């Protein structure tokens, strides 16, 4: 692996240089960024996937929606539609993408939109609902054509951007120095037993500037949810078997969550945002049936369930104990109080100092 990174380094240098020139043109004002007269919060990363953007967007929705008229705007990765689209309660993942589908499923009253062009997306949102007073941009840190009022950068505790390289020798979309554009940096997926010493060590490594805020968060797992009417009457507990299938960027934290609780975990891993075919689901069913342990379940993520929605797909899993496990982003104290205050103050006081 190390040798491969060395071989790919010249390509990383070329790619990184192009991105640096582009960012320099934006930062120098030679290419203009569009501004909007409403609070816009960008949630993104400089790594390729798996940093916990979706749970954080949902956290912000819960925090802000009681007193604001929110909208979320995503690219709608791997959707079959093009251009701007507003999700309906019965929209399919193929139309809007799995993340927007998840947002709309969990928050039916929320305006959820998808558009490749973020500037067009914000303009269309305001045309559709002029009362919208805050837009959450999902995965838009690299979209310099739109200038958000607040930029939140996420970095996985297990793969800090400071220890990574630019694509293709690493997983960074741009150089780690780009983190200076962030107003808030959040270290996600931390162990819940994060020590003060480890926290100080990471803070020194990230070395935020004087106008940046650094916070630490972790994943909170909810109880298992059934996706069908299967009656599971056995006492499922530790030392039993979980067949875990998933097509997300990083399934390792979930695998470890169950292994730490002494479950036997068998994993079927698909590519990120994988669209499940009938053959894929048949493979999952056959693999489950071939597990000798009688006390067993099938488990996946909430995002994966968004991609199993047609009658034909659901038919394959009929009669099987299929569960998913919802997750939430949660902050350590006193980070939670300070983070919430910064977000609420930004939205509440937007434009008042003009």
Report the Cα–Cα distance between both ends of the chain, in Å, rounded. Answer: 53
For residue 204, give Cα distances in angstroms to 182, 186, 214, 247, 298. Answer: 17, 14, 11, 34, 42
Residues 135-152 pLDDT 10s: 999 999 999 999 999 999
Partners of 225 in beta bridges: 324
Give pLDDT, residue 294: 85
Low-confidence ranges of the chain (pLDDT < 70): 1-2, 230-238, 353-354
Which of 317, 347, 270 is closest to 98 using CA atoms?
Answer: 270
Domain(s) of CATH 3.40.640.10: residues in the chain = 225-325
Cis peptide before 252 (omega within 30 of 0): no
Do residues 221 and 227 lie in contact, with contact meaning Cβ atoms separated by under 8 Å? no
Could you say which of 2.60.40, 3.30.450, 3.40.50, 1.10.10 is the CATH number of the domain covering 2-68+133-220+331-349?
3.40.50
DSSP string covering 112-180, please?
A: EEE-SSHHHHHHHHHHH-TT--EEEEES-TT-TTB--SEEEEEEETTS-GGG--BTTTSSBSS-GGGGG
Which of 92, 118, 121 is closest to 104 using CA atoms?
Answer: 92
Do residues 38 and 133 lie in contact, with contact meaning Cβ atoms separated by under 8 Å? yes
Give pLDDT, residue 352: 79
CA distance 66 to 73: 19
Give pLDDT, residue 1: 65
Domain(s) of CATH 3.40.50: residues in the chain = 2-68+133-220+331-349
Give pLDDT, residue 240: 86
Residues 263-298 pLDDT 10s: 999 999 999 999 999 999 999 999 999 999 888 999
CATH class for the domain made up of 225-325: alpha beta
Q: What is the dihedral of CA 336, 341, 343, 349, to 10 degrees?
A: 180
Residue with tokens 């499923």: 105
The predicted model scores a pTM of 0.94
């Amino acid at each position: 692996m190390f040798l491969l990174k060395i071989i790919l380094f010249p390509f990383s240098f070329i790619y990184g240089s192009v991105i640096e020139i582009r960012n320099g043109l934006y930062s120098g004002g030679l290419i203009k960024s569009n501004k909007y007269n409403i609070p816009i919060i960008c949630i993104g990363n400089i790594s390729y996937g798996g940093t916990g953007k979706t749970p954080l967007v949902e956290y912000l929705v819960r925090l802000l929606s009681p007193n604001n008229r929110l909208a979320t705007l995503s690219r709608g990765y791997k959707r079959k539609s093009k251009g701007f689209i507003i999700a309906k309660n019965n929209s399919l993942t193929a139309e809007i993408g799995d993340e927007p589908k998840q947002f709309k499923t969990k928050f039916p009253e929320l305006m959820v939109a998808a558009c490749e062009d973020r500037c067009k997306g914000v303009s269309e949102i305001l045309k559709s609902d002029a009362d919208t007073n805050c837009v959450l941009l999902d995965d838009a840190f690299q979209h310099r054509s739109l200038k958000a009022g607040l930029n939140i950068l996420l970095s996985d505790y297990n793969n800090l951007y400071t220890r990574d390289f630019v694509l293709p020798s690493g997983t960074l979309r741009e150089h780690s120095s780009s983190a200076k554009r962030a107003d808030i940096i959040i270290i996600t997926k931390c162990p819940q037993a994060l020590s003060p010493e480890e926290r100080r060590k990471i803070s020194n490594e990230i070395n935020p500037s004087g106008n940046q805020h650094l916070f630490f968060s972790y994943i909170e797992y909810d109880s298992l949810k059934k996706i069908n009417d299967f009656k599971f009457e056995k006492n499922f507990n530790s030392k039993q078997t979980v067949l875990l299938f998933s097509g997300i960027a990083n399934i390792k934290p979930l695998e470890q969550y169950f292994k730490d609780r002494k479950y036997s975990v068998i994993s079927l891993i698909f590519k990120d945002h994988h669209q499940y075919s009938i053959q894929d689901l048949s493979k999952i069913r056959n693999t489950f049936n071939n597990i000798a342990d009688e006390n067993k379940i099938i488990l996946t993520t909430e995002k994966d369930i968004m991609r199993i929605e047609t009658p034909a797909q659901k038919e394959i899993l009929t009669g099987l104990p299929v569960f998913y496990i919802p997750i939430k982003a949660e902050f350590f104290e006193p980070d939670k109080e300070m983070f919430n205050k910064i977000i609420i103050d930004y939205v509440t006081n937007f434009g008042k100092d003009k």
